[in-house]
Structure 1
């Protein structure tokens, strides 16, 4: 949102998207930014992504390694290319499969930023399980929440703002099993974890999760 700590939000978006090469179920998949801070946010994200060291994950200093499989890399690239080919987004960084040393030995895909992304673009509708950060602009909070909910997934979401009215509206209206405020990815083991819609059934962690391991039996007795 326009009143968010832009530095914290940019760092949160980069770490929440590119950690483990974007292969995390609760990773940041899409970012919606208020039009008033869109340019400054994008500029800072681009700076941070430009500093990421891509390479062998077993070597000290590496920030991001390769994707797990060739098929997954092809799927990620296909979603990016489909978005660009349909004029639904612009590549600001990355967006291609590198083939120069040392990237020829592994399923590498460079950290990718897509800007001015149409909310209906493939990278917004499908789950991109890889290092791609699509960023879209919004003018009202209601628009942002509507776009955020316009997907069959609903595992996690985050809102970045200091306005309690905005926070209250977001946590009520976002269709996600977990909603973070001014943070992303952290999941303490004592809280329930699970999603909505196509993002799974039931919950794990937390004391109420024990109920999901029980079977209810109904007994009807005529006096």
Structure 2
């Protein structure tokens, strides 16, 4: 899972809990609540998201939710942390450009899919400190996992060994977040591929090392 999924809420919850020990009333309640948070957030927005509404949709007593999650921020943070814990790994295509393109296409799908889980959670993170901190943990986890793409390219001799992986990855993915999250623009054909190609070309030229090569 590249991202905070924008497939169905049920699928998100299923995958988020995949690594945890199946069974057990506590875990079943947690997954019911996580799914309820996603559905409420997507359908009604952050302002209408309440502990009582989540409890009612999840079919659990409100005191159970208050005792474990305390408030809306705690609920949102647990949703994001559940996604962080999945065992997703980036695709390997044999080239840095191919790997970045595959990554960007997955991110684009997450940012434009229905229901808009990813967009809703990102928006909510600007309203909740707990959600914001959880989302920061998520980004750090994902970009750390993405770094293998750059390491593989360096091992193949495609790019300089001293290339900063995080810089390459931010350069490749930032145009998508700018386009969809900041500008809130509709999908643009080829955007994911162009952004990936531009970052790959710059990496090959040494733009992401401490001492960049002579660029054309």
Q: TM-score range by the shorter chain?
A: under 0.3
TM-score, structure 1 as length reference: 0.26
Name whichever structure is richer in helix by fraction: 2
Name whichever structure is richer in strand by fraction: 1
TM-score, structure 2 as length reference: 0.27
- Relative contact order higher in (CA < 8 Å, ≥ 6 apart): 2
